[in-house]
Amino acid sequence: MSEYRKDPVLNQWVVIAPERAVPYNLIKENPENEEKEFEPSCPFCAINPEETKVLLKYNIEDKNNWDLLVIPAPNPFLRVETELKKEAEGIYDLMSGTGANEIIIESPKHNEHIFKSNLNKIEQIFWAYRDRILDLKKDIRLEYLLFYKENKTNGITHPHSKMIATPFIPSMIETELLGAEDYFSYKDRCVFCDIVKQELKDGIRVVSQNQEFVSICPYASRNPFEVWIIPKNHQSHFEMSSKNQFYHLADIYLDTFKRLHKALGNIPYLSVLHNSPIQEESLEFYHWHIEIHPVIPLYQGEVFSAGLYVNPVAPEEAAKELREKI
């Protein structure tokens, strides 16, 4: 029987409707294709660091080569060189396109997907996020850095992430911040800390955990097999994580993606880092986390223009399925 569930952060109602679900074996209709290590038509395979503006370069395994590159996006739509101007057009507000958009090329190998990767490679990705945050937060015009990873949803399968830096806080993050602040003002506790405590106590929506992090299918999941990775201890800013935390983050991130791959196959997904605004000091009411949203053909939750989500997979069922995939 379907039911409404309320997200305690966004104060958003979600419909969990298991009767709309299709059998699990239909999910895997998109089989994994064998990909080459090098694909001549891929712009990231063909990149030459000597001929490209490189913002960050890691080369651990081979000092004469590279393991990870951060470059400006080709034809960037936001530029740090642009002067920030704010003006009005009647009742409307307008700002110049000040900001940045960058690409984190996570591996020189075209087919090195997350579920095939290793801890060191994944840890590199998170260190790159941290290094770019610490560099760009020096520009006090910038308020927020959005890091996201789209696998197979943008036409390029080469492992990479994207970053967009803006002089404002994106609306979804602002809604999270406001919801978390309201919860804190009422209960004098961080809502994410309470979620972690509740989920570890219940166990039914826990996918995996280690000493620093827990991955869960959230209580009011908007999409089938949606997973959040949350630090067990309160921390508002991702960039303040320790070396030990980045190691354990890489560990649970890899573990979670291996489980998702075994359960759903090599499907598209969106992975997003939800972090605090970079110019803010430590926030006692907000808790950074990573959200993973699989994009499942024939099995996608409905999103209506009014913002009502209908999810055909109960998070308890999704978590149980993922726990069994190891």
pTM: 0.93
Chain segment 60-119, per-residue pLDDT in tens? 656 668 999 999 998 899 999 999 999 999 999 999 999 999 999 999 999 888 888 999
Structure tokens at 271: 């992975």
CATH of range 3-323; options 3.10.690.10, 3.40.30.160, 3.30.428.10, 2.60.120.260: 3.30.428.10
pLDDT at 26: 47
Find all residues with CB under 8 Å of 96, minimum gap 6, and list them.
82, 83, 84, 85, 86
Residues of the chain with pLDDT > 90: what percent? Answer: 73
Nearest to 238 by CA among 104, 140, 106, 127: 127
pLDDT at 34: 57
Find all residues with CB under 8 Å of 241, minimum gap 6, and list them.
126, 130, 231, 235, 249
